[in-house]
Amino acid sequence: MHIVGARPNFMKAAAVWRVLADLGLDQVIVHTGQHYDPNMSDVFFEQLGMPRPEVNLEVGSGTHAQQTALIMMRFEEVVRDRPTDLVMVYGDVNSTVAAALVCAKLGVPVAHVEAGLRSFDRTMPEEINRLLTDQLADLLFTPSEDGNRNLAREGVHASKIYLVGNVMIDTLVRLLDKARPPSSIDSDGEFALVTLHRPSNVDDAETLRRIFATFEALSKSLRIIFPVHPRTRKRMHDLGLRARDPNRFQLLEPIGYLEFLALQRRARVVITDSGGIQEETTFLGIPCLTLRDNTERPVTVELGTNELIGRDMNLLCTSVQKILAGQWKKGRIPPLWDGHASERIADVILAWGV
């Protein structure tokens, strides 16, 4: 049984679902409903070639406690009703920890895909979700060596940990040829691709205003394309933030997986606070500037094309200039980010006894 809830879960679950389907295993997809807008959820199932979820818990938005509690209450009934050999949870969103906690209490085995990542910043809700999920899981699949080290340090027994690589890259490798830019925008010429949704960047009015003003200034020399997350759109609307020149600073609704992948590939630079995009740009060799003080994906900085910018808007501007001048590191693809991570997961699961 695969648990998905928020946008970054879908491309990971799709990769594992596909390999297990080829092996003929009975699978159920449960959507918690954490993300519910069609362009945050439905479009991904279509594009990723994954069946619609059989169950949707329809929990929607709320405070962290409300969202987590509602998922737990509704999910408990689902697992009780269906004898399940293994529940797969993905990443670090509220749906991940809520499902893992329900399973642990019911004695249903749980596998965590993307285990072991740590930002060491407990003000991030995702860090709490990662720490707890990894304590609860029976099988832990890590994307990189640092994940194994973090888990060992936290006392997770080595027999539960498997370094398999990055399942999100499996989906990227499979669909790269199908990637196409959104028809609504001109994707020729140079541009920066921007995403922003972390509470630490968008919830504080002053911070968001300062970031937005920097994008306005940057857009005079490099066109900006910015698909806006619903959370960010609400905050921008409340603060009356609008692009002065919509041809240079293009604000879009959230876009599908294939459209976003095509834009990443063509971008001169990607500016983001996402986790997954740090990884995708590293794989694609596109410079990435991350608007955070830390990352749970250090391999993208050590080996890849990513640099941490924090909220230092001067550093953001000088880094963009460096990239435009062709002075950015080239980066390397981390080990096991090869499109076959899900197959390694399937091998472990079969040997484990599903």
Instruction: Give yes or no for a contact between 345 and 19, defined as CB atoms under 8 angstroms apart.
Output: yes
- Minimum distance between the CB of residue 347 and ligand UD1, rounded to whole angstroms? 29
Q: Which residues bind ligand UD1 (CB under 6 A)?
A: 6-8, 34-37, 40, 61, 92-94, 125-126, 197, 229-231, 234
Identify any residues that bridge with 2 across adjacent strands, giving them in sequence order. Answer: 29, 88
Gap between the Cα atoms of 179 and 287, Å rounded: 19
CA distance 283 to 179: 15
Nearer to ligand UD1, 92 or 279 (CB): 92
Nearer to ligand UD1, 7 or 292 (CB): 7
Q: Identify whether the C-beta of residue 112 lies closer than 8 Å to the C-beta of residue 139.
A: yes
Secondary structure of 117-133 as H, E, C letters = CCCCCCCCHHHHHHHHH
Give dist(CA 322, CA 320) in Å, integer: 5
Choosing from 2, 35, 112, 197, which is the catalytic residue?
197
Tokens standing for residue 140 = 């832990």
Query: What are residue 142's DSSP bridge partners?
Result: 163
Provide, rounded to whole angstroms, the least separation between the CB of residue 7 and ligand UD1.
4
CB of 279 to ligand UD1, least distance (A): 13
Q: Which is nearer to ligand UD1, 235 or 344 (CB)?
A: 235
CA angle 17, 21, 25 (to 5 degrees): 105
Q: How far is the CB of 172 from ligand UD1 (least distance, A)?
A: 17
Specify whether 35 is catalytic. Answer: no
Of 90 and 212, the one with the shorter C-beta distance to ligand UD1 is 90
In 299-353, DSSP assigns E strands to 306-308
We find the least distance from the C-beta atom of residue 91 to ligand UD1, in angstroms, to be 7
Closer to ligand UD1 by CB, 38 or 310: give it: 38
Is the Cα torsion angle 108, 112, 117, 121 positive or negative in sign?
negative
Residues marked active site are found at 197
